[in-house]
Structure 1
Amino acid sequence: MPQQAPTPSTRQTELLEAAYQYALDHGLTDLSLRPLAQAIGSSPRVLLFLFKSKDGLVRALLARARAEELAFLDRARQPDRPAGLVPAVEGVWAWLAAKEHRPLLRLWAEAYARSLVQPDGVWAGFARATVEDWLGVLAGCQPQAERDSEDGAARRTLALAVLRGALLDLLATDDEKRITAAVAHQLALLRD
């Protein structure tokens, strides 16, 4: 029987939330314990005690970011009433394009890229898990017959590729109007 992870202490939860807010503002690539600890009112020693290592803290931060992403995805799912792929992608894009989500999405892009170039260790599996999560949500928005077909799988893969490419372009340029028009254009093609 697998052991459950111990329940985090109140202090660990508080520090994780503060560290998460710090990571949203500063990213994870150059994360250093001393400036992080100072910014969140702790010490490197306390962070190492609570998270076991810097990698343990980064894993916890990645899990926290993924939890926020999964919470959004859960709200997007409606397995009893599939909305259809195009309306689902329109809704997802509206969420992705919202300015208030940019810090989370920059963190996601950073973790996604790091997972691709460092497939072992703390970043292991992040990109793959993200793809599987999003494809699962998009599948849940398709009618059952489409969901189970090869064409349905190809259509949701294309939709995810459009969303991911548009998101990276948005993060690079902040040109929401142009990119939203491009997404709408691609969605018109997906309707056919």
Structure 2
Amino acid sequence: MGLFDTIKQILGVNAEVDATSAANPDDLFEMTSAYITMEANLDYVPAGDAALCFSGVDSTRFAQAVEEVEAILAAGEEETGTVAQLHEDDYGYRWIVLEDETFEDLVTTIHFAVRTLEDHGFGSRLLAAVFAFEKPSENHTVYWIYSFRRGSYYPFVPESGQERDSQTEFKLQSVLDGELTLEDDQAYWYPLWPDTPGSHPWE
């Protein structure tokens, strides 16, 4: 995973020290109305992909919690068609990667996974939820990232050569202000670079 530096640094330890508010998993549901505004005002639609990133711990209780999450994901695939894959990146961080054309199902599945980890006492291991959007008229993907250490969303719009489209990020911030719990401090708009240009951050 080509993640700017390492996820532990950018979304973990540093953000935990500087955290201004505790994350509320119900903030995830803000996306179910925000995406409608994005489509109406900016022509962005859900790309059908989302992911949850969390750090692991070597314990039986954690393994049991992950097994319960996997059971929830399997049930979700049967009921809603949400396809889920779990994998570990090169830094040892866990990703739940979801695919579903129904955006609300993506949000609900991530929320269930988050609540399950919290119920087992591993809420502190949660790092980020990432939602992908695209503009049909362009080959352009944008992301909304929810930082569990900051309890807020921020936009990420990658371009080729590990450059960011700051203008589009600011436009997204402006349009979604009032609908999402936004990160006001742009110093915490951490990029999540993929290994391969044009792919998702979790790939």
Answer yes or no: same fold by TM over 0.5: no
Q: Which has the higher contact order (CA 8 A, sep 6+)?
A: 2
Query: How high is the TM-score relative to the length of structure 1?
Result: 0.24
Q: Which has the larger radius of gyration?
A: 1
Larger helix share, 1 or 2? 1
Query: How high is the TM-score relative to the length of structure 2?
Result: 0.23
Larger strand share, 1 or 2? 2
